[in-house]
Chains A and B, each alone.
Chain A
Amino acid sequence: EDKVVQSPLSLVVHEGDTVTLNCSYEVTNFRSLLWYKQEKKAPTFLFMLTSSGIEKKSGRLSSILDKKELFSILNITATQTGDSAVYLCAVEARGGGSQGNLIFGKGTKLSVKP
């Protein structure tokens, strides 16, 4: 069975700290891995990763994928209270009728204290 596991489930840090969120997966015929930030209802897109070892960066956020070890990390440096959210990892698997099926992890709830 395809699955995506995120850790930790929750994390509390202080402003300025650096955090690393983890996502490991077991899927048949991996296509891509995506990171989303969910603050209220709608997850907003952060990164899509398809190739191993290539870091994607956007401001203080960065992410990298390891297709050999089947995991990805999301790093946030110099955290701010506005980074408080649930961070979702999703994997898209190839093939058959599941072309549109993103398999989501349960998310990591990040709380950044002032």
Chain B
Amino acid sequence: GAGVSQSPSNKVTEKGKDVELRCDPISGHTALYWYRQRLGQGLEFLIYFQGNSAPDKSGLPSDRFSAERTGESVSTLTIQRTQQEDSAVYLCASSLSAGVGYTIYFGEGSWLTVV
């Protein structure tokens, strides 16, 4: 597609439920990144993929968070047993490859509210 596409754009879920957030990167981009932005806070790195493998998962806040990517394309970020502190905008980004010189483009984000 023309840009990074994320769905859903907004999700309200009850505490304890699982949610899946989807990211469709720019066609041909091999690197894909997930970030979290809580209200009034900066962007927190969660995980990135180069192809289908995730060399850096250091930002995942807990074992309730997982992500996968298939076909070097779509990625899903799954949050199990959601907690209220998981409420945030989850931003996905992609670039042609991971590394210096490759511009990272962001999607519009998925706004998650846990009630």
Contact = CB atoms under 8 A, between A and B. Distances in A.
8 shortest interchain CB distances as A-B pairs: A100-B48, A41-B109, A104-B43, A106-B42, A31-B100, A97-B56, A100-B98, A42-B106
Given A42-B106, A101-B56, A94 B31 contact: no
A34 B111 contact: no
Contact of B91 (A42, A45, A107): A42
Given A41-B89, A41-B91, A104-B42, A98 B56 contact: yes
A31 B98 CA distance: 12
A41 B111 contact: yes
A107 B55 contact: no
Interface residues of B, number: 29
Contacts, number: 72
A108 to B, nearest CB: 11
Contacts of A94: 100
Contacts of A106: 41-42
A32 B100 contact: yes
Nearest to A86: B42
A50 B101 CA distance: 8
A100 B50 contact: yes
A44 B106 contact: yes
B42 A99 contact: no
B68 to A, nearest CB: 16
A97 B104 CA distance: 18
A101 B45 contact: yes
Contacts of A100: 31, 33, 48, 50, 55-56, 98
A99 B101 contact: no
Interface string B83-115: 000000101000000111101111111010000
Given A32-B101, A42-B106, A107 B42 contact: yes
A100 B69 CA distance: 15
A101 B107 contact: no
Contacts of B50: 99-100
Given A44-B106, A50-B101, 16 more contacts: A31-B99, A41-B109, A42-B4, A42-B108, A43-B43, A45-B103, A48-B103, A98-B56, A99-B55, A100-B48, A100-B56, A101-B56, A102-B33, A102-B43, A106-B41, A106-B42
